[in-house]
Structure 1
Amino acid sequence: MTLTLDLNLPVWGHVDRDAEFSDDRRYRYWLTRRWGSGPALMFVSLNPSDADEHKDDQTTRRDMDFAERFGYHAVRLLNLSDVVMTDPKAVAGIADPISSINDEHLDREAARHDLIVFAWGSNADPARARAVATRLWNICRRTGGAVACLGWTADGQPRHPSRLSKNTQLSTLTADAHPDFVDVDPRWVALLTDSDVLDSPARGVSR
């Protein structure tokens, strides 16, 4: 008996690939894939794996699949921790998983994109996740942007896209429409209200 598996995934034609690494390639600051002339969707995941300016990995392909289905023509991928590791569970044991300029890249890219998808999964450090999410949400409040996720883990973190159904929908929160978190999912409220970030002076972000 022959079984036919139809995943209904896009067949990629020409894709422009680019990425920026530290000089020793220990850290990857961002990665881009572009297959059309339309807008780019920004993803924030846990940490980079082995995708680079030439090669895709599973997460990159899944992010591209979702972005294409949501009507975007490119992805811009950044991470809570920018150290390159193929085992995400090992990131917590690294002495320096975050480069000195990772947050600068996160802030700048957040100001340039209309929608930011949080997608770091259950292995993220909760304090780091809250701090980054709150800071990027504050940037969205200034730029009129929005944040989103592809569902939630059992511990209230944004789900990673690797094992999600292709029909998974975005849960989106727009800054202009929800300035005071009225009638907002409490998981969003917990993620976007880090008191240390809210009490700190706002940093200027250039586009």
Structure 2
Amino acid sequence: MSLFDQTGAVFSPCKKYRYLLWRDWDVTKLVLTFVMLNPSTADEVTNDPTVEHCQRRAVSGGFGRLQVVNIFALRSTDPQALYSSDDPAGPDNDATILEAVKACGVVICAWGTHGNLNGRGADVLKLLRGAGIQPHYLVLNKDGTPKHPLYVGYDVNPTPWEHP
């Protein structure tokens, strides 16, 4: 028997973009949403290392659901692919992000330095704040971007992101 009662993902019809991924295990508990850079190989049932790490953080933090959205919905194992894409964010991404964070307990931003591409990280931060969402981070990089969760220990708790 799986730890998860329900798993899933929302892809574009062409599978070029993954807009949302989730793992449910206890619907009576709060939802943890990570807003990261771009999706890699995780799908409806299979975790990649990043999703596995986020899942462990969510379970140990007492959450009952993990959601993952990304500032860029383009699926790629190499962030450099974002720079050569005409539309790395994807046409339905902002609407999906807003829908995903509506009923969240905590939203953790974790897109790293590549989030500066096209000012996308700042745009998503404005989108979240404009919707009344309090974003959090685990650690900030030297350039002020929120560090990717794979590079942050489990002992680090989310911090409310007041600025920029």
CA distance in 2, matches of 1:65, 1:54: 16
> Which position in structure 1 is the counterpart of 2:112?
121
Between stretches 13-22 and 73-82, larger displacement belongs to: 13-22
Q: Percent identity?
A: 27
* Superposed displacement of residue 87, structure 1: 0.9
CA distance in 1, matches of 2:152, 2:2: 24
Alignment of 1:8-157 (within 5 A): 13-15=2-4, 16-37=6-27, 38-125=29-116, 127-140=119-132, 145-157=133-145
Conserved 8 A contact 1:13-1:35? no
Any stretches of 5+ residues in structure 1 without a counterpart? 1-11, 174-187, 191-207
TM-score by length of 2: 0.91
Larger CA Rg, structure 1 vs 2:
1
CA distance in 2, matches of 1:66, 1:93: 32
4+ long deviations beyond 6 Å: none
* Superposed displacement of residue 130, structure 1: 0.7
Conserved 8 A contact 2:33-2:107? yes
Matched, 1:166 2:154: yes
* Superposed displacement of residue 13, structure 1: 4.5
Match of 2:163 among 182, 189, 202: 189
TM-score by length of 1: 0.73
* Superposed displacement of residue 94, structure 1: 1.5
The count of aligned residue pairs is: 161
SS in 2 for 1:118: strand
* Superposed displacement of residue 25, structure 1: 0.5
CA RMSD of aligned residues (A): 1.7
